[in-house]
């Protein structure tokens, strides 16, 4: 097995989205990836790293990750303290949560995310401009619809569980139960394990074949 290497990448920008969430933009340095893959990122001492799905597009000359700071986390608080000009350690991209080339061209795709689980979908959309997709994003508050203006208005739908200012007041599971998915839809789920488990069951009951459901769990 090829050893995965860590390299230093200089931070170009930090975009603060909420009190606890930000986008970290840093040099790409020739790193190759397939949209949907993830990288391990950490502070420059390299002692602790964490996996983050790549947020940027495959043709961008930089890399971005979407980070939610966890107060007792081993990595995110350190990343939150960094600024432009500082460095992060980054390793090679890995993962299989990717789109099939044929599906990119002709399939109807539904992306279902909770919280920062929207990150790989942002990369898909930036990378494949002709993609026929819709995003259903489950968040607590409408302020957590991270950079929703990145998507056409008719392709992004926010389910807000703790306020009524989203497109639907309630959880993703409630919305899907009331609005069945066409059985021929390819469904990509990314977020916490409870959401993925519950949505998978809902889709199965609605007639979506399990071979058309792809999942990535965020911890």
- Residue 158 lies inside a defined structural domain of this protein: yes
DSSP state of 56: S
Query: 165: number of CA atoms within 13 Å, CB side?
Result: 7
On whether both 206 and 146 belong to a single domain, the answer is yes
- Residue 96 lies inside a defined structural domain of this protein: no
CATH at residue 47 = 2.40.30.10
Domain of residue 129: give its range: 101-217
On whether both 128 and 207 belong to a single domain, the answer is yes
Measured over all CA atoms, what is the biggest interatomic distance in the chain, rounded to whole angstroms? 51
Per-residue pLDDT of the chain (219 residues), as tens digits, is: 455 568 999 999 999 999 999 999 999 999 999 999 999 999 998 789 999 999 999 999 999 999 999 999 999 999 999 999 999 999 999 999 999 988 898 889 999 999 999 999 999 999 999 999 999 999 999 999 999 999 999 999 999 999 999 999 999 999 999 999 999 999 999 999 999 999 999 999 999 999 999 999 986
On whether both 59 and 118 belong to a single domain, the answer is no
DSSP state of 72: T
CATH at residue 124 = 3.40.50.80
Among 52, 69, 91, the domain-final residue is 91
Among 33, 59, 91, the domain-final residue is 91
On whether both 17 and 50 belong to a single domain, the answer is yes
Q: Tokens at residue 106, please?
A: 């002709």
On whether both 11 and 79 belong to a single domain, the answer is yes
On whether both 57 and 34 belong to a single domain, the answer is yes
On whether both 150 and 45 belong to a single domain, the answer is no
Taking phi first (over 0 means left), then psi (-120 to 50 degrees means alpha), and beta for anything else, what does residue 100 get? beta
């Amino acid at each position: 097995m090829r050893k995965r290497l860590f390299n230093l990448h200089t931070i170009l920008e930090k975009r603060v989205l909420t009190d606890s969430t930000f986008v970290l933009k840093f040099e790409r340095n020739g790193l190759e990836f397939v949209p949907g893959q993830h990288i391990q990122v950490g502070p420059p001492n390299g002692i602790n790293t964490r996996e983050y799905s790549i947020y940027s597009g495959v043709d961008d000359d930089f890399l971005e990750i979407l980070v939610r700071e966890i107060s007792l986390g081993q990595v995110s608080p350190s990343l939150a303290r960094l600024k432009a000009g500082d460095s992060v350690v980054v390793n090679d991209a890995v993962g299989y949560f990717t789109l099939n080339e044929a599906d990119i061209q002709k399939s109807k795709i539904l992306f279902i995310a909770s919280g920062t689980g929207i990150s790989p979908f942002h990369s898909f959309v930036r990378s494949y401009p002709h993609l026929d997709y819709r995003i259903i994003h489950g968040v607590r508050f409408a302020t957590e619809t991270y950079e929703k203006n990145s998507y056409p208005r008719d392709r992004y739908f926010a389910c807000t569980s703790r306020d009524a200012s989203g497109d639907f007041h309630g959880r993703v599971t409630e919305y899907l139960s009331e609005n069945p998915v066409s059985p021929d839809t390819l469904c990509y789920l990314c977020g916490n394990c409870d959401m993925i488990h519950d949505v998978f069951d809902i889709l199965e009951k609605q007639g979506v074949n399990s071979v058309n459901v792809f999942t990535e769990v965020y911890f």
